[in-house]
Amino acid sequence: KAGVTQTPRYLIKTRGQQVTLSCSPISGHRSVSWYQQTPGQGLQFLFEYFSETQRNKGNFPGRFSGRQFSNSRSEMNVSTLELGDSALYLCASSLGGVGNTEAFFGQGTRLTVV
């Protein structure tokens, strides 16, 4: 079966702009989690959606938001981009939640803010 698909793979944006990243989970998976990966901070949890509801949220400012659609596809939005938002953004899908079922990760979207 198809894996987790993240689009686009690479993105370059200017400071102050906004960006939307997309994640299509594995068919049948209802949970999608987002992570930010940077060399300095490592992997940080952004939020998790399950059946269109945000179930968990990490410690990120309100500029970071997300949503999940009825087909479980998820989008992440970052407004008013800052240089520090440059990172690899990973999404993970699982059947019931990241904790006690296997999470499958996409290849990520590499965002560069200039």
Partner 1 sequence: AQSVTQLGSHVSVSEGALVLLRCNYSSSVPPYLFWYVQYPNQGLQLLLKYTSAATLVKGINGFEAEFKKSETSFHLTKPSAHMSDAAEYFCAVTAKNNDMRFGAGTRLTVKP
Type of residue found at 19: V
Considering only residues 4, 19, 21, 87, which one is a binding residue for partner 1 as defined by CB under 8 A?
A: 4
Residue 113 in contact with partner 1, rule: CB under 8 A = no
21 vs 16: CA distance, rounded Å: 16
- Binding part of the chain for partner 1, among 12-20, 68-76, 79-87, 99-107 by CB under 8 A, reads 99-107
List Cβ neighbours of 113 (8 Å cut-off, separation of 6 or more): 12, 13, 14, 15, 81, 82, 83, 84, 85, 86
Residue 105 in contact with partner 1, rule: CB under 8 A = yes
Residue 97 in contact with partner 1, rule: CB under 8 A = yes
66 vs 108 by CB, closer to partner 1: 108
Q: Residue 83, by phi and psi: left (phi above 0), alpha (psi -120 to 50) or beta? A: alpha
List Cβ neighbours of 79 (8 Å cut-off, separation of 6 or more): 18, 63, 65
Window 20-59: residues binding partner 1 (CB under 8 A): 31, 33, 35, 42-45, 48, 55-56, 58
Q: Which residues bind partner 1 (CB under 8 A)?
A: 4, 31, 33, 35, 42-45, 48, 55-56, 58, 90, 92, 97-100, 102-108, 110
